[in-house]
Structure 1
Amino acid sequence: MDRTAILRWLHSAMTSSGHGTKRRIVRFRQQSDYRRFLEIWSDMAPPPATPPIIRHLPLIEAFSIPVSLDLPDFAPLLGEGAQVEEDTSICVHNTVLKPAARDKGIPWGVQQIKAPQAWSATTGHRIKIGVIDTGVDYNHPDLRQSLGRGINLLNRSALPYDNNGHGTHIAGTIAAANQMQGMIGVAPRATIFPVKAFDHNGSAFVSDIVMGIEWCVRNRMDIINMSFGMKTRSKSLLNAVNIAYNAGIIIIASSGNDAKRKSVDYPARYPQTVSVGATNKLRRIAQFSNRGSFIDIYAPGDKILSSWLRGKYHEMSGTSMATSHVSGAVALLLAYRPGLSPGEIKSILKRSMLPLRGLKKSSRIIGELDVVRMLQAADR
């Protein structure tokens, strides 16, 4: 690793006026190489008023950097001990949204998975859920009792306040707790820790997600909700998911809204996650939902009413919405049976599913989330 050449290249990157840039993630095969790079970086004082161009990703011993197309390739400077991949853009999963008046009572999806029948035994008390998303509306009356501080990865000095709405909607389905005046979620006594990794457009980079997973691992979340996806595989994201899985965190991920039969988005495609598809009120697979052998479980995701910005409510459809039902259900399960591993949780979910309607008998090994059956399976 050529120390002088790397310093020269980094200085050029920070002062480059080139407009065309792409972010790259550089992962080191050896911890010693990563530490050597950190030493090189610490020797370099960034120019005044220059925003930090490097995102350090210590969880996977890597960093992300925007590379100007005007600059020469920097990979050879790092030697054979480093691997470079694109820091891919990633988006939240939803299809349709519209404003809606609050519907009195328990939302249909919460009813359909039979969460209310379990509340006498478990409400998700003390279960910590990291929701990597667009943030949350901290002032929403239905969420005030359900939120931890979380983190804003886009602005570390600010609360992870939602300027999109998607994260607030997800949070409401998981753990809203205002049944008398507002809505109630699947696990009303669980605690949501918003991890704001997505901007107001619902977009992020893989490096943002890796930083979010690192925060969840460091702060000992029990569950991570990932209602987003991308089409391409990322070794960096897989490494981060593996580390969280090995730390005992169950990751629930949305499969995507492309109506595909043989493919799902990443990270849901990784076997270390629980991959979720969406159903409708008729307990059939929603038209938009991905489906097939890569789906672990289905849950309500069509025309889901939940909390929104400024204390309001919106109806949304997508596998994102289905994923939040599963995260809430797993919170109920973990409060009921503490200490279950991610593998054990996935097994319980899969063997307690309710067969879907409208499928051939040969397809009935796939099914919809049923909280009562899930708790019964955990007792066996």
Structure 2
Amino acid sequence: MDYYGFWQLLLEEISAAPRNAERRIVTFNDHRQYAGALSQWKSLKAKRPGLRQIQVSSLIKAFFVPAAGAEKLMDKFAASLSIEEDLKIQVHSLAEEKTGAAMMPWGVKAIHAPQAWSKSTGVHVKIGVIDTGVDYRHPDLKHSLASGVNLLHRGMLPLDDNGHGTHIAGTLAAAGGTRGMMGVAPRALLYPVKAFDHNGSAYVSDIVLGIDWCVQNKIDIINMSFGMKTRSKALHDVVIKAYRAGIAIIASSGNDGKRGGDYPARYPETIAVGALDRRHRVAAFSNRGPYIDVYGPGEGVPSCWLREGYKEMSGTSMATSHVTGAAALLLALRPALTPRELKQLLRRTALPVRLRKGQRRAALGGGAADALRLLRAGARAKRAAAAAAKA
């Protein structure tokens, strides 16, 4: 394959394309050809600054290139390549709701997290939060935050310019003590991965790069409070890679109030989360169905917000952060659990949800997350495994 010609063709398109031009995800059908193209790219980009705009996912062996360039590549190298549209993806929250102090949010109490803290507070568990970034100045979050990564502006802190990521971070691991808010796993460590812009929008390529970063940095769990309607091969491929690396991905199902739901929650390798209202029923806005693994509190959830504030929000995004926090409590005690085992324990320890008129339990999927039951079941499973090993 003519790797020099491959990059020369793309370089011409990069020079002509505006910075915000549509992109495509390019993968090679033969991994050896990917290695050859990668080697050529590394040697050329020092002399050809335009090639530095190309981004690479080593995990799924893909390049992210301008759309016009991808079309020309297909004309010349069609037998060697697969090309996929770089689709838009959105965070899963509804309109912002009222502002107010959070203290001990109802959702944290509803999943019995405070009763679980005598057993685990999530210490040392690394949570990747692929979202809009985080407010690093928030007093309730400052002890819970690692540096993370800003995929939109490399070299800068992943600062939140939307609010959604800060809200998710608060539910996960706020540690404000008696004067502020407490999250589900207050001693877990959050690694913000800023993939979403100020509008709460990202591209599949941003998510791929975010998961790639989490795998490289040995993150334990990834919170993904976002989704899209369309299936993406590249997104599924990188989810599978993370799953095989032992990283649990917990994803929100979407807010359409329908049976079915969004990707990546619908991929079997993720843990799919729906939302409950304050009466412990499936929220009217929540997607539902047999593929939902577990439900978490998602209606009128107070949490941290920008400029050191607080805000109530609703959505399966909010539910997902409760479930991820509960999973972190368990992984602090059982760090060797696989994503599959974690999913099984979450499903097995979930409580039945209250039904709305006309609903059938089987049509909803899983039950309501309960952190205390999860830790107790995890401890029992550990004792049983130890006893079996001795026998």
Normalization by structure 1: what TM-score? 0.94
Aligned residues: 377
Structure 1 equivalent of residue 367 of structure 2: 367
Q: 1:49-80: CA deviations, max 9, x gaps?
A: 758431111111110112238x8532132342
Structure 1 equivalent of residue 134 of structure 2: 136
1:261-272 alignment to 2 at 5 Å? 261=259, 263-272=260-269
1:315-354 alignment to 2 at 5 Å? 315-354=312-351
Q: 2: distance between equivalents of 1:181 and 1:18?
A: 48
Q: 1: distance between equivalents of 2:20 and 2:143?
A: 45
- The answer to whether residue 93 in structure 2 is matched with residue 94 in structure 1 is yes
Preserved contact between residue 289 and residue 364 of structure 2 (Cα < 8 Å): no
1:199-348 alignment to 2 at 5 Å? 199-261=197-259, 263-348=260-345
Preserved contact between residue 166 and residue 306 of structure 2 (Cα < 8 Å): yes
Q: SS in structure 2 opposite 1:98? A: coil
Consecutive unaligned residues in structure 2, runs of 5 or more:
382-391
Q: 2: distance between equivalents of 1:320 and 1:214?
A: 21
After the TM superposition, which of the residue ranges 271-280 and 52-61 deviates more from structure 2?
A: 52-61
Consecutive unaligned residues in structure 1, runs of 5 or more:
none
Q: SS in structure 1 opposite 2:53? A: coil
Change (3 A) 1:72 1:146: closer
Alpha-carbon deviation of 1:4? Answer: 5.2
Change (3 A) 1:66 1:243: same
Which residue type is aligned with residue 331 of structure 1? A
Q: 2: distance between equivalents of 1:43 and 1:51?
A: 10
CA RMSD of aligned residues (A): 2.0
Q: Which runs of 4+ in 1 moved over 6 A?
A: 46-49
Q: SS in structure 1 opposite 2:312? A: strand
Q: SS in structure 2 opposite 1:351? A: helix
Q: 1: distance between equivalents of 2:57 and 2:144?
A: 29
Q: SS in structure 1 opposite 2:59? A: helix
Alpha-carbon deviation of 1:187? Answer: 0.5
Preserved contact between residue 106 and residue 179 of structure 1 (Cα < 8 Å): no
Which residue type is aligned with residue 60 of structure 2? I
Which residue type is aligned with residue 218 of structure 1? Q
- The answer to whether residue 109 in structure 2 is matched with residue 111 in structure 1 is yes
Change (3 A) 1:233 1:72: closer
Which residue type is aligned with residue 306 of structure 1? S
Alpha-carbon deviation of 1:363? Answer: 5.2
Q: 1:204-247: CA deviations, max 9, x gaps?
A: 11111111111111111110000010111111111111111111
Identity of aligned residues (%): 53
Q: 2: distance between equivalents of 1:365 and 1:43?
A: 51
Normalization by structure 2: what TM-score? 0.91
